[in-house]
Structures are given as C-alpha cells and as structure tokens.
C-alpha cells in the first residue's frame, strides 16, 4: 500500500479523513490543513449558476480511491475497492462539512454537552449529610520570629489567627516576603497578587475583630495554579502566548475560597498547557533539591507549599499532576473524585478527566480545603452535590484496607526507598489494620492517552495551532498533531472500554474501602505498577491522596498513596491522617 500518494491530494483528503464520518470531527488537522486544501484542484462546477449548497459541494477536493486507501492505512483500517467506491461521495461531502466546522471559533471554556459520570448504574453513593468533625484545635503560641510559622499546617495557622495572636495581614506580609525572596530560585510563582492579598487580609482582620469568624481558612494565605482565572490578573496556562492575557472571571474555586475567607497571594506555575514543570519562564524547582524540577503540571503548588511560601495551594490533575509533584516535593496532595470539585474558570485539558484538588502540608489541611471548595456548580455540570462527611475521629480499624502488592514488590527502587515502603506497611498494620492484597484489573488494558489526547487536541487547538513558534514544548505540538488522525469511532470505543474498566474496578473496590501503593518519584524512577494504578484511577475517577513516608539516600522525599472509593474521601483521608499522625514525616521541611 503506497502512503506517498501525491502530496497535495493526500493532504486534501485528510481534511475529510472522516472515512464517511468515522474520524473525530473538528480536531482533524485544523487550520494548517485548510490552508493547504486551497492548493488542490476543485471539483467541476455543474451549470452556470449554483445555489449556496451547490457552491459548498463544488468546493470539495476531487478525491480518489487511492487517497482513501492511503488514508485508511494511516487510521489502521482496510477497505475493499467496492467499499471505497461507495465511500467516495460521503467522504467528499464530509470534507466540506468538516471545513465549515473548523471555521467556528470555540473558546477553551466551552465544554461539550457530554459529561463523564464515574458512578455506575445501580451504584449506591452515601448522600446522607452528617456533621463535619475536625480535630480538636491545637494549642499554639506565636513564636518570637513570625517566619518560623511558614511551614505550619493550616490547622495551626488558623488557631493563631482565630485567637488573634497573629493578624491575617501579618501572615500575608510574611508569606509575600518569602515568595519574593525565594521565587527567583524556585520559579513557582507566575504572578504575586500583592494588592489583592493585602485587601483580602485587611477584610479578614476586620471581620474577625467584629466576631465574624468564617472558619479555619479565614485569613490564611494560599496560592492557586495558573490554570485558574482570577479577575484582574493574568491567566497564562504557563504558555508564552498568554503571558499577558487576563480572563475577566473568577474561577469557582477562587470564589469559594474567598467566601471561606482565604487570602490569595499568587498564581502558581504550571507546566506549559498543563505538561510537566517547564513553562515560559523556565523550570519550577524542588525546594528539597533545587537542581531538580518539581515534576507534574501542578509543579508550582507543590514547590510553593513545600517551600513554605503559602499556607496551602490548589492544583489540578488529569494524569498524575497532583500526585507527582506532591510526592517529589514531600507535601500532601489530594486528587478528589471526578466531579467532586468544579473546574469552572480553569483551563480544560480533558473534560472527562480533569480534576481540582488541594495541595497542603497535612491530610487534615486537605480535608479543610476540600470542604470549602467541593460541591455542585451550575457553571460546571460535571460537578455534583455529594456530602463530604469528614470525621477526624473515625475508627480506622473498621476500614477494609488492602495494598497493591505488585507495586511494593517493584525492584527498581533503591534500598532506602524499599525500606520506606516496608516501614509504611508495618506502620499501617500497627494501627490495628489487617492488610489484604489488592490487584489491578487485568483487562481492559486501556491507555489513558486514548481519551486524554483526543479531548486535548480539541481543548487546546488554540494556541497549539495559532502560536506554535511561541511554545516552549514543540514535542507537545507533535504529539497533538499525531492525534488529529484519530478515528472518532475509536474514541467512542475507548470510552466504552473505559466503562468495562470502571465495572472491573467497582468489583474489586466493593471488597475494600482503601488500597495503598508507593508513589516514589524522588529520582524520577518510575514504578510501572504504580503508574498503571494512576492511569486506571484517573480514568475511573477514584480519589487519591499522596503524602510523604520518608526520604531516600539523597535526602529526597518519598511518597505513599491511598486510593479510596468513589466519593469516599472521608474514609480514605481518615486512614491517611492516622498514618501521618503516627509518623510525622509531613513536619519535615527543606532548609532553603
């Protein structure tokens, strides 16, 4: 089969690479191909005059069976001569339809009217609302040097503010000073929002002085990943073409944190278009070792939280972007159940996989932040109203817990990392928990990119197509273009395979409440079993929390991950908190 068919004709065909409506419409080649189509000989006109419809039809390229046969080979398909003859008319018509479709300007903020739901038919989700039970407030005392609280968890910072030992303005000025001092080294802030931060801090102090205390986030400075829009400030997505762009809305998460009284001190770095830790100003670094990047597109939240530059932060995950930087930076990162938290106002990468979650210094901090930001939102129809019934006093001995044995038996790690993994399991057992073995579904072996990239090429058509010369990651452009030849039927079938995977996971999770696995990325050494778990649970929408469980031979943090049931964050976090409280690894911090 000859794939070197006349270049102009072949490119012309790809504008209609629908194979009679079988390829993903609207994302196939895009404007680049449109420009090349104009070079191709057009079909002959019939008659002296044409109606608008006939004019559109006549503008289609003259396609041949050889073009279709070559294009089918690219899509991994094969047709007989008779089938190709019968397809020509439909494919030619599709060429014009797809060309017209691509002329429609669609902003990244416009989601398709199709919403992924991780809940299976017949699945019972606990919707009873119970009191939110936080731990008893710790007894705290303001230190002589205020900067000594920079690494304190929110649970302690909030007590300083609530008892008026520290004002929100004092706390905010301290974190702003640290952000400005260390950002040149860490590159974790894109924009420091001084004016907004001090305005919100003064308001918090006035309200607290008047007896209007809003709760544990009131007056606490935080940072948010620069995928989220904030009125009056640039929202760059880590991409140079957008470094001065202002989206004049507040993301729902920003609005809800404002309602909780939190103080926004800055927009935190994201890898360009949510890829890794490299953005237009450079690479975001790990505070534990500034020769290393902080990994994952939520690199800024991971670095800023670990470096004591914010009280807490908010990131996003599509395929590991909260878990990876949390593990490598030694912070506690929560990826909630898909649909638990609104994504309105955030860059879309994959409408059916994107999730928003907190990155903090402790498990209970994550619970406090999740409580403030979770819930239904009519601006993101994928966000649902399921109660988050946090109970810090839950008896974790009643939970059914398993561990992903194959991940703990991975032999690629160093002796110290393997010792950390064993010690973590021993500590869990010492809490009075009997660990069962857990195995991931054997099939279907669905690659998450089959869904993520198919959605991503549509979501990020601009700027990948409009500003390719300004992007720092040309490999991203090449990867996106490859998926422009992805059949729509295969995208649909990937989602059907996803349903099979969801059913298999539901059968396995029916026997347990939580399972454990290591998330050891200190030296970017992958654990293939852990990676597969991350892929599967991002496809199925299950929640996860990663927290530090020691250090490797080089002094880099190592991580332990907990996976819970759908909307089972309260139980999952209770177990993670019990482990964290019994070890204290989260209290360690880098010496910048």
Q: Among 538, 530, 559, which Cα is nearest to 325's?
A: 559
Catalytic residue (one of 321, 342, 350, 533): 321
Backbone angles phi, psi at 402, to 5 degrees: -130, 170
End-to-end CA distance of the chain: 60
What gap in Å lies between CA 525 and CA 533, rounded to an integer?
16
Q: Among 34, 84, 79, 77, which Cα is nearest to 63's?
A: 84
- Residue 297 bears catalytic tag: yes
Beta strands 332-335 and 355-360, pairing class: antiparallel
| H-assigned helices in 289-414 | 299-306, 323-329, 363-373, 405-408
b (16+ CB within 10 A) / e for 246-267: ebebbbbbbbbbbebbbbbbbb
- Residue 321 bears catalytic tag: yes
The neighbouring-strand residues paired with 360 are 332
- Residue 225 bears catalytic tag: yes
Q: Among 263, 267, 309, 314, which Cα is nearest to 161's?
A: 263
Q: Among 335, 329, 332, which Cα is nearest to 360's?
A: 332
For 228-297, the DSSP string reads B--TTSB--TT-GGGTT-B--S--HHHHHHHHTT-EEEEEEP--GGGSTTEETTEE-EETTEEEEE--ST
What gap in Å lies between CA 99 and CA 28, rounded to an integer?
10
Catalytic residue (one of 16, 297, 298, 326): 297
Contacts of 252 (CB under 8 A, 6+ apart): 342, 343, 344, 345, 373, 377, 379, 380, 383
Catalytic residue (one of 225, 267, 355, 565): 225
Q: Are 509 and 317 in contact (CB under 8 A)?
A: no
The neighbouring-strand residues paired with 357 are 315
Can you read off the two tokens belonging to residue 513?
């409440």
Residue recorded with tokens 């080294």: 185
Q: Among 398, 413, 434, which Cα is nearest to 516's?
A: 434
What gap in Å lies between CA 8 and CA 18, rounded to an integer?
18
Beta strands 221-225 and 263-268, pairing class: parallel
Q: Among 330, 328, 331, which Cα is nearest to 292's?
A: 328
Q: Among 187, 174, 323, which Cα is nearest to 263's?
A: 174
Active-site annotation, residues: 225, 297, 321
């Amino acid at each position: 089969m000859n794939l070197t068919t006349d270049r102009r004709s072949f490119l012309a065909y790809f504008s209609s690479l629908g194979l009679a409506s079988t390829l993903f419409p609207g994302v196939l080649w895009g404007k680049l191909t449109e420009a090349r189509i104009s070079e191709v000989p057009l079909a002959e006109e019939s008659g002296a005059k044409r109606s608008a419809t006939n004019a559109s039809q006549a503008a289609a390229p003259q396609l041949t069976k050889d073009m279709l046969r070559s294009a089918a080979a690219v899509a991994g398909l094969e047709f007989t001569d008779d089938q190709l003859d019968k397809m020509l008319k439909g494919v030619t018509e599709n060429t014009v339809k797809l060309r017209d479709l691509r002329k429609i300007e669609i902003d990244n903020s416009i989601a398709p009217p199709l919403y992924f739901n991780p809940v299976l038919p017949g699945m019972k989700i606990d919707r009873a609302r119970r009191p939110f039970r936080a731990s008893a407030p710790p007894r705290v005392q303001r230190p002589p040097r205020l900067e000594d609280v920079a690494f304190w968890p929110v649970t302690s910072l909030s007590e300083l503010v609530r008892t008026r030992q520290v004002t929100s303005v004092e706390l905010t000025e301290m974190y702003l000073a640290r952000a400005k001092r260390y950002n040149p080294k860490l590159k974790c802030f894109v924009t420091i929002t001084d004016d907004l931060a001090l305005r919100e801090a003064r308001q918090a102090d006035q309200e607290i002085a008047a007896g209007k205390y809003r709760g544990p986030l009131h007056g606490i400075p935080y940072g948010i990943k620069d995928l989220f829009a904030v009125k009056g400030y640039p929202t760059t997505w880590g991409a140079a073409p957008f470094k001065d762009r202002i989206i004049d809305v507040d993301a729902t998460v920003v609005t809800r944190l404002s309602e909780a009284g939190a103080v926004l001190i800055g927009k935190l770095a994201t890898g360009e278009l949510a890829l890794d830790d490299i953005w237009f100003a450079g690479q975001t670094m790990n505070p534990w070792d500034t020769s290393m990047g902080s990994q994952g597109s939520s690199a800024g939240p991971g670095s800023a939280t670990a470096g004591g530059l914010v009280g807490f932060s908010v990131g996003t995950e599509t395929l590991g972007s909260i878990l990876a930087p949390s593990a490598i930076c030694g912070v506690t990162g929560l990826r909630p159940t898909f649909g638990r938290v609104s994504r309105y106002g955030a860059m879309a990468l994959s409408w059916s996989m994107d999730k928003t979650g907190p990155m903090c210094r402790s498990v209970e901090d994550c619970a406090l932040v999740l409580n403030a930001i979770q819930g239904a939102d009519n601006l993101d129809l994928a966000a649902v109203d399921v109660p988050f019934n946090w109970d810090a006093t839950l008896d974790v001995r009643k939970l059914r817990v398993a561990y992903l044995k194959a991940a703990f038996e991975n032999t690629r790690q160093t002796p110290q990392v393997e010792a950390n993994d064993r010690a973590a399991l021993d500590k869990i057992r010492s809490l009075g928990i009997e660990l069962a073995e857990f195995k991931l579904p054997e099939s279907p072996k669905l690659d998450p990119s089959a869904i993520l990239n198919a959605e991503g090429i549509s979501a990020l058509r601009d700027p990948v197509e409009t500003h390719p010369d300004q992007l720092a990651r040309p490999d991203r452009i090449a990867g996106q273009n490859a998926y422009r030849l992805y059949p729509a039927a295969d995208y649909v079938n990937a989602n059907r395979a996803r349903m099979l995977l969801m059913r298999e996971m539901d059968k396995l999770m029916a026997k347990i409440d939580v399972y454990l696995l290591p998330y050891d990325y200190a030296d970017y050494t992958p654990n293939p079993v852990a990676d597969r778990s991350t892929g599967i649970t991002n496809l199925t929408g299950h929640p996860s929390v990663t927290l530090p469980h020691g250090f490797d031979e080089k002094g880099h943090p190592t991580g332990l991950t907990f996976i819970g049931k759908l909307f089972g964050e309260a139980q999952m976090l209770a177990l993670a908190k019990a482990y964290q409280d019994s070890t204290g690894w989260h209290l360690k911090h880098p010496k910048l």
